[in-house]
Amino acid sequence: MSAIITLSLLAILLLYLGLFKAKAALLPVSLLGLVATLVMYGTDWAKDAEPRYNGMVLFDQYAVAFSILCVGVTALVLLLSKNYFDKASTHVAEYYALILFSLTGALLVVSFHNLAMLFIGMEIMSVALYILAGIRKKDFASNEAALKYFLMGAFSTGFLLFGIALLYGATGSFDLAAIKSHVVDNPHGVSPLFHGGILLLIVGLAFKVGAAPFHFWTPDVYDGAPILITTFMSTVVKTAAFAGFLRLFAFCFVPLQDFWMPVLLVITIVTLFVGNITAIVQQSFKRMLAYSSISHAGYMLFAIVAIGATSAESILVYAGAYSLASVVAFGSLILVKRATGSDHFEAFNGLAKKNPYLALAITVAMLSLAGIPLTAGFVGKFMMFSGVLADYQVLLVILAAVNAAMGIFYYFRVIVAMYFRPLDRDQIAVAGEYRVVLIVAVLITLVLGVYPAWVAGLL
Amino acid sequence: MDNLFILLLLPVLGALVLAFVRQAKTAKQLALLLSLVTLACTIPFWVGFVPDASMQFEQRFAWIPALGIHFHIGIDGISLPLVLLTNGLIPLIILAAFNYDYKGGFYALVLFMQAGLLLVFTALDAFAFYVGWEVALIPIYFICALWGGENRIRVTLKFFIYTFLGSLFMLVAIIYLHLQVPSGDYALASFYQLALDSGTQRWIFWAFFLAFAIKMPIFPFHTWQPDTYTEAPTAGTMLLAGIMLKMGVYGVIRWLIPVAPLGFAAYGQLALVLCVIGVVYASIIAFRQQDVKRLVAYSSIAHVGLIGAGVFAWNVQGVQGAIIQMVNHGINVVGLFFVLDIVIRRLGTRELAAMGGIAKPAPALAVMFLILVMGAVGLPLTNGFIGEFLLLLGIYEYGIWYAAFGGLTLILGAVYMLRLYQNSMLGDVNAQTAVFPDVKGTEWAVLTILVVLVVGIGVYPKSLLDVSEAAVTDLIDKVNLINK
């Protein structure tokens, strides 16, 4: 809990720094704060944690692992943001503060033990993002993204809240332990109210993670928002939303799996295909990543469809791999867009000649997203496939395999552009912070891919 | 010196070093040196190998203990010939590329691929096998797409997606089998002991079969192959045809049939028929080709079809023939593509019609080409003979009609190969071929080594056959015991 308090105070401190025009201090202070948060979480790693603050939050290993992932990725995103918003906004401190507020919400979502806390976490996370998506006040696309995100987000929050209310009506409690014992005590007799609540929660959460058919906001918002905000949304926010999703279902609804599993199965299959097929026809790298994030949501839903002992680890590894690869992809996109002014695939033509290491980093990220062995993305996919097969969902895995092959089409388009389509271009200068982020992300991706033992047995 | 893990690590380290070499001349010499070191380190395995059915030089490390995954490798009589083939051909392929100025990155990819191939041929853990399988694919994709011909982008992407899709089905089957293993691991031995019901084994058979059939390739999964072989740079074609397609055959022998024996009992005949169709079909198409590279590409489908048929016949002669023919085909096809590379480089065309009469200005090339062609056709006293003989014997035992159609490969093979030889080497010279320079420099070295191997194995094939006999007999007995 100290970590969450630290983060909230840190964000307010950043606002004050902005007030006193201490622009140069923003990044170091926020990074320092994030490192402090990481240390606090690190010391929290305990086998048997108890719910705290009247059962509001539970910092078990699951929560701590996902929190560390979220904080770490946020640190990478912040590193990329040095100088990024100088042109976009005169109030850079707002940006840092809002990102940290959003992160605070994400941390609550991964560690909630009470449905009220889930709701509050989701809102803290999302409200900050509504502003962030529109942080380029003069930019049409950015404004459109913010408005769309806000409307859709508010809409989905309604579903979430309604679902929570129905669960409360059925069980008389917001507490996860109380809901769980209600389900266990009445294996056959839970009221229709409860079933309705589960369905509404699925809809609300599917909105938040961007699963089809509730995904329509994703491409426009991801495309319209500034690239760094998109990075943050598609990594930290998505990870947190999935962690919350799984936490709720693994904790409370496992005995009712027969009821909700078919619903989620259909959502998963639709998500996979919608994301993949639409990603294939995209011309813009950024939009392709947006659609591919939908299909990745489909893969991550596997862990919830086939809920079991390894679900938590698979989502952790998958979300980690996906986040790292996304950071690399979006980070490089910023560099390329700065140099060429375009985020289309053609903007990458001939990159490998002038920037071989940047091209290599992008290649590793794409291979990881495509799920090729010796990258973290493969380990994530492998664990997802194993979990689903253990549940005997053979058809789902075969469909997923077909989708994974389709993914090669669009991920390799960047590689093809960089390596095989020659173009005379200037070398792109890669700033020091970008180097650090790319190297760290690529190294972790490879190390996780070659020797995943140190996370595979973590949870 | 017989640490198998280090043998697998050597090419990876070599690749890491080579990746940073910018100068073309240093790169090729260093690459040759590194590949020769790997070859030298292979010799202790050959010398120390005891020709019985046991698994030797075994090593097993925990890889991902939480998921039951181990890095488990070893060599037996079936894998040793392929390990020797891989490590023997890589230096030759590097030497064959000396006429081009590739930077270090090219050789790094070749060596990286070598590591993947070695892992495939030695893996005793299904996860490790799959990793090797994919690791071999990435470098060859880049080799073909970076240094290939005009249509390389479309063709190589098709190749990649095609093979990747096939291997994903294999991955699904591997995970499924793992979940049935009581001890919860991915070991080959555990997979062998699984006695799944026939219905399950049937779809396991198809999942593995798709991956292997695409890789080999067996008709009708071959559509990626001629384009890719034609568009790839010569070194890439050599890697693909010489070594990579053996991954598929090896997979059938080591994984497909013993892991799903009941599936094999149900569909083995169908697979064999597909192989035989491939032999006849590809031979006929090869005869019609004007593009010399395409011609050899189709001939490769025909040869591999016969090898596949021998494996699916699943008797000692057939499988033994397949193993020795895998080695032979590797040698022959690398030789043929190298000769074609010499010709294409000097004439600037792949069209058969533009060639002719090369034997006059270049007698040495013509003689060595002839020996290689003889080896490919399977003339006695060349290496191809013993392989095709054993293969046909094995197929004959399975069924006389299969052997009759499979045997067409000898006749048809002679027809299209001699047509290639005749139209390129013999006949009248034209303006370009009249001044055709004969072999020189490193070309001599490559061709001489290949010709010595063709004749050497042809005269004394026993050295190779003895290595694999015990292991093959043992494996066949195991499967046949289940099927009876």
**pLDDT mean across residues, chain B:** 90
The mean pLDDT value for B332-346 works out to: 91
For A209, residues 6+ apart whose C-beta sits below 8 A from its C-beta are: A238, A241, A242, A245, A297, A300, A301
- For an interface test with B, give the residue of A385, A420, A447, A448 to mutate (most B CBs within 10 A): A420
Domain membership of residue B291 (yes or no) is yes
For B105, nearest residue in chain A (alpha carbons): A356
**pLDDT value of residue A86:** 67
Chain B residues with CB-CB distance to A280 below 8 A: none
> Is residue B430 situated within a structural domain?
yes
Interface A-B: count of C-beta contacts within 8 A: 78
Per-residue H/E/C for chain A: CHHHHHHHHHHHHHHHHHHCCCHHHHHHHHHHHHHHHHHHHHHCCCCCCCCECCCCECCCHHHHHHHHHHHHHHHHHHHHCCCCCCCCCCCHHHHHHHHHHHHHHHHHHHHECEHHHHHHHHHHHHHHHHHHHCCCCCCHHHHHHHHHHHHHHHHHHHHHHHHHHHHHHHHCCCEHHHHHHHHHHCCCCCCHHHHHHHHHHHHHHHHHHCCCCCCCHHHHHHHHCCHHHHHHHHHHHHHHHHHHHHHHHHHHHHHHHHHHHHHHHHHHHHHHHHHHHHHHCCCEHHHHHHHHHHHHHHHHHHHHHCCCCCHHHHHHHHHHHHHHHHHHHHHHHHHHHHHHCCCEHHHHCCHHHHCHHHHHHHHHHHHHHHCCCCCHHHHHHHHHHHHHHHCCCHHHHHHHHHHHHHHHHHHHHHHHHHHHCCCCCCCCCCCHHHHHHHHHHHHHHHHHHHCCHHHHCCC
Given a contact cutoff of 8 angstroms between Cβ atoms, the answer to whether A109 and A125 are in contact is yes
Which of A367, A412, A455 would best serve as a mutation to test chain B binding (most B beta carbons within 10 A)? A412
Q: Is A110 within 8 Å of A201 (Cβ atoms)?
A: no
Contact criterion met (CB < 8 Å) for A373 and B131: yes
B472 membership: H or E segment, kind and range: helix B462-483
Confidence check: pLDDT of B370 > 90: yes
Comparing CA positions, the residue from A400, A316, A332 lying closest to residue A366 is: A332
Please count the structural domains in chain B: 1
CB spacing of B66 vs A404 below 8 angstroms? no
What does the alpha-carbon distance between residue B142 and residue B145 come to, in Å, rounded to a whole number? 5
Instruction: Count CB-CB contacts under 10 A for residue A108.
Output: 25
Tens-digit pLDDT profile for residues B82-123: 999 999 999 999 998 888 888 888 999 999 999 999 999 999
pLDDT attached to residue B178: 92
In a domain, B169, yes or no: no
Q: pLDDT tens across B237-275, in order?
A: 999 999 999 999 999 999 999 999 999 999 999 999 999
Closest chain A C-alpha to B128 CA, distance in angstroms? 10
Q: Is A249 on the interface with B (CB under 8 A)?
A: no
State yes or no: pLDDT of B438 exceeds 90: no
Does A451 contact B at CB distance below 8 Å?
yes
Per-residue exposure over B191-206, b if at least 16 CB sit within 10 Å of its own CB, e if not: bbebebeeebbbbbbb
Question: Which amino acid, residue B342?
Answer: I
Range 418-447 of B in CB contact (< 8 A) with A: none
Q: Tell me the one-letter amino acid at B146.
A: L
Helix axes A311-340, A376-390, angle to 10 degrees: 140
- Residue found by looking up tokens 């294999």 in the block: B170
Please state the rounded mean pLDDT for residues B12-39. Answer: 91
pLDDT at B414 over 70: yes
Question: Which residues, other chains included, contact B413 with Cβ-Cβ below 8 Å and sequence gap of 6+?
Answer: B283, B299, B302, B303, B376, B377, B378
Q: Within 10 A of B381 (CB to CB), how many other CB atoms are there? A: 12
Do residues B184 and B70 lie in contact, with contact meaning Cβ atoms separated by under 8 Å? no
Residue B408 exposure: Cα atoms within 13 Å on the Cβ side: 18
Cα gap A428→A335, rounded to integer Å = 7
Quote the pLDDT of residue B1.
Answer: 62
Would the CB atoms of A383 and B67 count as touching at under 8 Å?
yes
Contacts of A402 in chain B (CB under 8 A): 165, 168
Is pLDDT at B296 greater than 70 in this prediction?
yes
Nearest to B412 by CA among B271, B293, B303: B303
- B164 CB within 8 Å of a chain A CB: yes
Which residue of A367, A369, A397 to mutate against B (max B Cβ within 10 Å)? Answer: A397
Q: Which one, of A253, A132, A272, lies nearest residue A202 by Cα?
A: A253
CB A389 to CB B176 under 8 A?
yes
**Least CA distance to B62: which residue of chain A?**
A453
Q: Tokens for A271? A: 């998500």
Q: What is the pLDDT of residue A427?
A: 85
Which residues on adjacent β-strands are paired with residue A114?
A175
Q: Would you say how long chain A is, in residues?
A: 459
Out of A394, A397, A405, name the one closest to residue B164 (CB): A405
Residue entry with tokens 């970076």:
B146
pLDDT average, residue stretch B178-199: 89
* Chain A contact set for B175 (CB, 8 A): 382, 385-386, 389, 397
Are B52 and B62 spatial neighbours (Cβ–Cβ below 8 Å)? no
pLDDT at A87: 63
Q: How confident is the model at residue B330, as a pLDDT?
A: 93
- Residue B471 within any structural domain of the chain: yes
Residue ranges for chain A with pLDDT beneath 70: 86-90
What's the pLDDT score for residue B153?
Answer: 87
Which residue in A404, A416, A419 is closest to B168 by CB distance? A404
Q: Are B316 and B445 in contact (CB under 8 A)?
A: no
pLDDT for A323 equals 96
Interchain contact B169–A (C-beta under 8 A)? yes
Residue B279 in any domain: the answer is yes
- Which two tokens mark B177? 């089998």
Using pLDDT thresholds of 50, 70 and 90, give the confidence band for residue B433.
confident
B contacts of A389 (beta carbons < 8 Å): 172, 175-176, 179
Candidates B99, B36, B89, B145; CA nearest to B334 is B89
Average the pLDDT over B69-94 and give the result.
Answer: 93
**Residue A120 confidence (pLDDT):** 94
End-to-end CA distance of chain B: 43
| C-alpha radius of gyration, chain B, whole number | 21
Spatial distance between the Cα atoms of B342 and B143, rounded to a whole number of angstroms: 19
Cα distance between residue A294 and residue A24, in whole Å: 37
Q: Please tell me the distance from the alpha carbon of residue B159 to that of residue B214, in angstroms, as a whole number.
A: 9
Phi/psi region, residue A171 (left: phi>0; alpha: psi -120 to 50; beta: rest), is alpha
| Distance, CA of A421 to CA of A112 (rounded, Å) | 49
Could you tell me how far CA B209 lies from the centroid of its own chain?
A: 17
State the first-to-last Cα distance of chain A, in angstroms, to the nearest integer: 20
B176 to chain A: which residues are within 8 Å by CB?
Answer: 389, 394
Tell me how far CA of residue B32 lies from CA of A312, B37, B339, B449, in angstroms: 47, 9, 20, 15
CB contact under 8 A, B169 and A398: yes
* Amino acid symbol at B47: V
Q: Which amino acid is at B474?
A: D
pLDDT of residue A88: 60
Contact B66 A416 (CB under 8 A): no
* Domain limits for position B304: 269-484
